Amino acid sequence: MEFEVTRDTRNELLERREVEFALRFDGSTPSRVQVIGKLSALLNVNEKQVALDSLKTGFGRTECTGSARIYDTEERRNRIERSFILSRGVPKPKEEGA
């Protein structure tokens, strides 16, 4: 998986960085959790500060583009981001006894 950051801007009002990137991969499209992990490792931030907004892949291609927002603190991210964005791509907990 190769990352290339195409745009990185700072939004002082919302205390976050807005990042657009291109991603090249082999095989199947990586999950949102894998993309957040790789992006946070590349930019040296905590995974709990990252909100992955979009991830777009063309049919039959091994590359995709996306955008993410990196907040200064986890509390700021939880206060600003909508709940469905934060829960998107996170595996659901398995129920016991089912």
For the segment 33-81, what is each residue's pLDDT rounded down to a tens digit?
Answer: 999 999 999 999 999 999 999 999 988 899 999 999 999 999 999 999 9
Q: What is the pLDDT of residue 95?
A: 72
**Domains in the chain and their CATH numbers?**
2-87 (3.30.70.330)
3-state secondary structure of 40: helix
Residue 94, pLDDT > 70, answer yes
Q: What percent of the chain has pLDDT over 70?
A: 97
Write out the two tokens for 43.
């930019």
Q: What is the pLDDT at residue 64?
A: 94
Return all residues near 32 (Cβ < 8 A) that are at least 6 apart. 52, 55, 88, 89
